Chain A
Amino acid sequence: MKPLSIRDLKVRRGAFELDIPNLDLEPGTIVGLVGRNGAGKTTLLEAVVGLLAPDSGTVRTFGLDPVADPVAVRRRVCLMTDDMPLFNLKVGELMRALAPFYPTWDTELTARLFQVFELDAGRKIATLSKGENTRVRLALSLAWRPELVLLDEPATGLDVPSRRRMLAEVLEVVKDATRTVFVSSHDAADLERICDRIVIVERGKVVADGPTLEVVGEGRTLEERLA
């Protein structure tokens, strides 16, 4: 079963319509989702986890319907978003509070992520800077080894060294060739670097989709391609 399979998907939100006739993700790949603000990246990712129900068409993750079967889907798929609500506990308490909800929570990996992202277990969530908050959300999203990792703008507020650590952790996910990452970002250079495939959306539609080198074209960067 593919990590993601979309057919004839339409999701309407006011005047905006997301319209994806066909989109599949292959296991073991990192796929970049690119587009301007309002192009439909977040809508697409929310539809994948079932936060938004399709107006028509189907979304299947590992063959499961995320709207009809949210628990089974949420055990295998994570969505890290910018506005993911976090209880205002200390970072360490938050991790301990959430871990029991995930049968696959990996305590060794959590310890490593604390180190990599320089998290301070004693800090209260509300006192964290934007970048620190992003690092906590990244750690939370990766610590239970979801099979499909959806990341919506995972670099928000990160400085250069943290951004590189984030990229390394994303690549770490696909060391396991059964796991998959679908990541949206405004940082074209980062996506070009780590993504096997790039999907470009414009006004709710996919306008380019293919291996990174083919979509970007040799002799130019993704940023130049998007300009």
Chain B
Amino acid sequence: MKLTVSQASGVPFYRQVEDQIADQIRAGHLPPGTALPSVRQLAADVLVSVITIKKAYENLEAAGLVVSHQGRGTFVADTAVKASRAALVREINDELTATVRRAQALGVDASTLRAAFERALEDK
């Protein structure tokens, strides 16, 4: 598993690790059942603290992408693809909501927004 994190990005290390593993799972590079490296091994490989990797693994588990078995390690969940799809839908929902809020704050009315949304849908 190849991961690289950078301080320059401004994104917390645990989030960078979490996102890169999530992407590899979604892309099918890490199929269900795949064992992830141990927390301490991955920390040494990526050059980040043990607590960073722990937090990334915990978040991935909370998102349903991995499961950890006490003493055996952490594995890509069987339901990872489904879970990641649900997470993506949530993410898109959040982005849409944020866009609508911003438009409202700027005084854009509902019909203009609807028209913009329709245009975006049509626009392949």
The reply to whether the CB of B121 lies closer than 8 angstroms to some CB of chain A is no
| Complex CA–CA separation, A97 to B87 (angstroms) | 59
B25-60 CB contacts (< 8 Å) to partner A: 40-41, 43-44, 47-52, 55
A154 to chain B, nearest CB (A): 15
Contact among B13, B41, B51 with A175 in the assembled complex (CB-CB below 8 Å) = B41
> Once the chains bind, are A212 and B49 in contact (CB under 8 Å)?
yes
> Once the chains bind, are B7 and A194 in contact (CB under 8 Å)?
no
> Once the chains bind, are B47 and A171 in contact (CB under 8 Å)?
yes
> Once the chains bind, are B47 and A167 in contact (CB under 8 Å)?
yes
Contact among B12, B40, B48, B55 with A194 in the assembled complex (CB-CB below 8 Å) = B48
Q: Which residues of B contact A193 (CB under 8 A)?
A: 7, 13, 47-49
A65 to chain B, nearest CB (A): 29
> Once the chains bind, are A189 and B7 in contact (CB under 8 Å)?
yes
A213-B12, A218-B12 as given contacts; A194 in contact with B41, CB under 8 Å: no
> Once the chains bind, are B13 and A28 in contact (CB under 8 Å)?
no
The reply to whether the CB of A81 lies closer than 8 angstroms to some CB of chain B is no
> Once the chains bind, are B48 and A212 in contact (CB under 8 Å)?
no
Q: Which residues of B contact A111 (CB under 8 A)?
A: none
Q: Which 10 A-B pairs have the closest CB atoms?
A: A196-B51, A171-B44, A175-B40, A196-B49, A194-B49, A172-B44, A167-B47, A171-B43, A189-B7, A195-B49
Using A175-B44, A211-B51 as known contacts, list a sample of 16 further A-B pairs with CB atoms less than 8 Å apart, ordered by residue number in A.
A29-B51, A30-B50, A167-B47, A168-B47, A174-B40, A174-B43, A175-B40, A189-B7, A193-B47, A194-B49, A196-B50, A196-B51, A197-B51, A212-B49, A212-B51, A221-B7
